[in-house]
Structure 1
């Protein structure tokens, strides 16, 4: 799984909507805001197929691979294909659902492509002992963005509210995504498989939202003593107890770099990156609207094939990390 987490992406989508002028895209979002909010999770819902450990994990890995591919390959083409499919639908509810979803998808790409390098660098490599720390970092970002930045009560912003869909919304979005996957990547993701991802996505977000931090210590005990897999599930939990140790938002403006390039050094806080991504998202949705008006033909001028994970157009390996957890020596929370 990869993000910033669900709530932060939902907040980005809502802030982007505030910036939009009256347009076809804005109208579609206003009619189907849940499809828009679901879209703000981008392709991440594909990581949740059979997420529960008692379900077929071989199939879970197969479906999860689709999410990885979409994050890294043919970024422009996949998005353009979804847009083409949306406009093949008859005008009305289904087309509006599709456009609202794609608009949300673009906000997801915007935040990921700007902020993911920051998170990868500061959390650590996603294998070995640091495998789950990326998710741990993102989950705490959710808690901090809600309470510190937006000054809301965490219990009033449950993760599941961003992924709740009607039957028509589920079917339409699943058709758009599964059809685009086949057209662009030549592999089969069925509409039903995509809908199962949505179902399991909602279930796990509901189960792992813990604003009072009551379930978290229980889950960690099970992970540590029975599963022998620390952070396997608890890393995905959005909890009320805030991390006051690791400066998750980088309010102190410590140096960090894109994990693909040690010479690319930044000092931005996460809030600054959020604002940068908001600008990118606003531009992306303007381009989406221009495509609908026949004033543009592709998202390529905005997206530039920038990968979700690295923000780079070319495929580069991540080679450098500097985990805040390892530096502090405080691995408990």
Structure 2
């Protein structure tokens, strides 16, 4: 998953046109659209909740599942709601589709870097460190995108203050969306408070990770390595640094060849080529997703069966979680 800032800023870049296309009228609908741009990622943060952590694997399940089935189920779930809740849910689903679009476009590049770094023969930097390497790459992209698009760093653009805005009523509507969609996709009933709890935990973790000076990050990273007996810290990989640079070591701005680890296609695309390409497709994607005639075949054509990871996944494959 490109991380919190990349998704939030991508959504903000689409918001004006999406507002006109979707006729978003209220702050709640615009908040829902931007929150939707975080996709299923808030669910990962349920891991810190002792009562709700069992639902955290739903985040990976949605990332791995057939995208046509996921997007179609989310759309249909929104249509089952009424009045204000339907409008909020519809806006959220549109943002959720933007998350899928950016994830499926950028993830092959991210995984190419991750696989290369974890197989380079560096002691301790193997597949077991994959999640930390993944987070490091995405954190670097976050910092780059933030400075490139706003001219600011996390000193003046704090993730826990700028992203994840939503009222209780907005979250309650999205809770219903997830309940119905999960029931249809996986034939499992989740706790009705799953998504709203996940957002609260996501906000909490972002506040804990907030460390513009780097001092708290250093303390937490050291504690994590000691307690978990890990060489590399996940906190250290995810906590944003003050980095006033519009480039990243991973952006492939020199357009060198790289191989998509899922399709094995060779590309020279840079981060910004992929990001801008996703942006150019956003409105068409939303228009097709919300068209009344959308069915499974049309959803497959829309997504090209590329799941959130960028891995071809046709309908019918059961995801165990």
What TM-score, normalized by structure 1, do the two folds share?
0.82
Size of the alignment, in residue pairs? Answer: 302
**Structure 1 residues 198, 66: closer, same or farther in 2, change over 3 A?**
same
Unaligned residue ranges in structure 2 (runs of 5+): 119-125, 316-321
Q: How does 1:88-167 map to 2 (within 5 A)?
A: 88-91=80-83, 93-124=84-115, 127-160=127-160, 161-167=162-168
Q: How does 1:54-93 map to 2 (within 5 A)?
A: 55=50, 60=53, 62-91=54-83, 93=84
Given that residues 219 and 233 in structure 1 are in contact (C-alpha distance below 8 angstroms), is that contact kept between their aligned partners in structure 2? yes
Q: Displacement of 1:114 after TM fit?
A: 0.4
Unaligned residue ranges in structure 1 (runs of 5+): 316-333
1:48 aligned onto 2:45: yes
Listed one character per residue, the Cα deviations across residues 232-276 of structure 1 (whole Å, up to 9, x for unaligned) are 3222211114799971222222322111244x1111111111001
Listed one character per residue, the Cα deviations across residues 95-125 of structure 1 (whole Å, up to 9, x for unaligned) are 1110111011011000001000101111236
**1:231 is matched with which residue?**
233
Aligned to 1:42, the other structure's residue is in SS state coil
Q: Displacement of 1:47 after TM fit?
A: 0.9
Listed one character per residue, the Cα deviations across residues 270-316 of structure 1 (whole Å, up to 9, x for unaligned) are 11110011123222111134x2xx3544533312331111242459x
Given that residues 144 and 248 in structure 2 are in contact (C-alpha distance below 8 angstroms), is that contact kept between their aligned partners in structure 1? no
1:18 aligned onto 2:16: yes
**2:308 is matched with which residue?**
308
Given that residues 253 and 269 in structure 1 are in contact (C-alpha distance below 8 angstroms), is that contact kept between their aligned partners in structure 2? yes
Q: Displacement of 1:156 after TM fit?
A: 3.1
Q: Displacement of 1:84 after TM fit?
A: 1.6
Aligned to 1:299, the other structure's residue is in SS state helix
Deviates more, 1:216-225 or 1:276-285: 216-225
Aligned to 1:181, the other structure's residue is in SS state helix
1:171 aligned onto 2:172: yes
What TM-score, normalized by structure 2, do the two folds share?
0.85
**1:252 is matched with which residue?**
254
**1:182 is matched with which residue?**
183
The CA distance in 2 between the partners of 1:239 and 1:310, in whole Å, is 28
Q: How does 1:212-227 map to 2 (within 5 A)?
A: 212-227=213-228
Q: Displacement of 1:26 after TM fit?
A: 3.7
**Structure 1 residues 311, 284: closer, same or farther in 2, change over 3 A?**
farther
**1:4 is matched with which residue?**
2
Aligned to 1:18, the other structure's residue is in SS state helix
The CA distance in 2 between the partners of 1:185 and 1:206, in whole Å, is 32
**Structure 1 residues 211, 267: closer, same or farther in 2, change over 3 A?**
farther
The CA distance in 1 between the partners of 2:26 and 2:270, in whole Å, is 30
**2:319 is matched with which residue?**
none
**1:36 is matched with which residue?**
33
Cα RMSD for the two superposed structures: 2.6
**Structure 1 residues 108, 300: closer, same or farther in 2, change over 3 A?**
same
**1:271 is matched with which residue?**
272
Listed one character per residue, the Cα deviations across residues 38-61 of structure 1 (whole Å, up to 9, x for unaligned) are 110111111111326xx46xx63x
